[in-house]
Amino acid sequence: MPGIVAVTAERIRDEHGLATTRSRVTVTFDGPVVPAESRIPLASHFEFDVLQADGSAKRVLVKTAERSPADRRQVVLEVDALVTRGSTLRVSRRAFNPAAPGVVEAEVGAGLEPVAALLASVALAPADPAFFDPPAPRATDPADDDPAAMRAALERHLRQRGTDAATIADALAVYDAIPPATVPAPKLRAALAALVGTFAEPALTDLLTAQNCTGLPAASIDFRTPPGNERLLARVTYTGNGARVVSVEPGLRDERFELLMPLLAHEAVHCDQADSRVEEIVATAFDTLLFLQLVAADPSLAQERTRLARELRIDALALINSGGVWPESIGVLRSPGVVQALPGTNADHRSFAEFVVRSYPSVPELQSPTEPLAAAYMAVLASGAGVTAGDPFDLRQLDDLLGRALDIGDLLEVIRAFGLEPAG
């Protein structure tokens, strides 16, 4: 029997480049492969002990085995499971010599890490059922209306995020420069200034200057009842000359300003007056990604039980349980191993995109023109991920980028902060 030189595993993708939960494993020997004549399929001579995230191993059989047409030293296996790095391949010696007893073992040297394979295969659910409980109000803090107090809170937040001194100075300068006539509430000014140093920083130029599709700075960003729908947390409307008015539900006055950051990053995306289901998916995906990054930096945000915190964490769970391209990360499309994006509820949404669409029943249009600010968010994230920016209104491209944009360390911090575990 030839000796095994290397065993490498790769995830199989479908014709659209979406991930599956199957693997293709290439076994390279130190010489040409000549299987013995046998009525037993070649695949039956191979099996794996697949390393799991908890350190245990699971026996997995091989579906098909074929000699590689490109290299006579290789056998290519297909397995109906994700074969992880560190797993053990066992090959019966009878595959090559009918009289030879025993097996040969080799370690899989390339493949998904066990934790990544777990995240790519199952939905996560909160261990605490209170995760979905109705919201509880937060006590009013008089300091929220004090510009100096909110400036100090902004600085503390930036330091909590690990922001460098120059960026802190920039953010504080933005806070000081935001005109109270346009943004009366110090808390909203702090939430806007805190976007400095995040991928959503372009929202500041879009909202506060004329560099946007309206050609005008926003006329007002304030706490007022969003017109037209009592359930909305915020809404963009327009003045007679076309300037935007961003209305934030007054009941959110007592929220932590960090939680208002994703809300404002979302509303800033809406510039033209053509809304669509795809636009809401995109805007909500970006605001939820920002929320995840904030929770990774400050896990105390995961413990808030207010109305806005509840909305954001449920969105976060759906985003974590989605991802067609990188299901071990986040995304908007359905993950291959997930049948319910919100396990532990009666909701049957299979993906983040489905969940968001059903949250906006009053939006009939499927598609609308790509919003420039969404493209700007995409460009910042793509640059950080080292890839080319695509069209954020192409959900396949958005899904791909989101999965690359969230650092695995940040994702694990979020999972711990929310107390998520594999859904049973």
Running along the chain, 424 residues long, what does each successive block of 10 average in pLDDT?
93 96 97 92 97 97 96 97 98 93 94 95 95 94 96 98 97 98 98 98 98 98 89 95 97 97 98 96 98 98 97 98 98 95 94 96 93 98 96 98 96 97 91
The number of residues in the chain equals 424
pTM of the predicted model, to two decimals? 0.95
Give the phi and the psi of residue 288 in degrees, each rounded to 5: -75, -40
For the record, the structure tokens of 255 come out as 């929220």
Q: What is the C-alpha separation between 389 and 397, in angstroms, rounded?
A: 9
* pLDDT computed for residue 230 by the predictor: 67
Q: What is the C-alpha separation between 263 and 348, in angstroms, rounded?
A: 25
| Residue with tokens 């964490």, as numbered in its chain | 313
| Residue with tokens 């899904």, as numbered in its chain | 399
Give the phi and the psi of residue 9 in degrees, each rounded to 5: -115, 140
> Under a CB-based contact definition with an 8 Å cutoff, are residues 221 and 244 in contact?
no
Q: What is the C-alpha separation between 195 and 209, in angstroms, rounded?
A: 15
* pLDDT computed for residue 318 by the predictor: 98
Which residues lie closer than 8 Å to 177 by C-beta, 6 or more apart? none
Q: What is the C-alpha separation between 100 and 110, in angstroms, rounded?
A: 29
Vertex 268 angle, CA 296 and 396, to 5°: 70
With the C-alpha atoms ordered 20, 21, 27, 28, is the resulting torsion angle positive or negative? Answer: positive
- Burial bucket for residue 147 (CB in 10 Å: 0-12, 13-18, 19+): middle
Q: What is the C-alpha separation between 228 and 224, in angstroms, rounded?
A: 12
Ranges assigned E (strand) in 30-170: 46-51, 57-61, 64-67, 74-79, 88-92, 103-107, 124-126
Q: What is the C-alpha separation between 217 and 209, in angstroms, rounded?
A: 4
Vertex 209 angle, CA 206 and 213, to 5°: 50
Question: HSE on the CB side for 271, CA within 13 Å?
Answer: 25
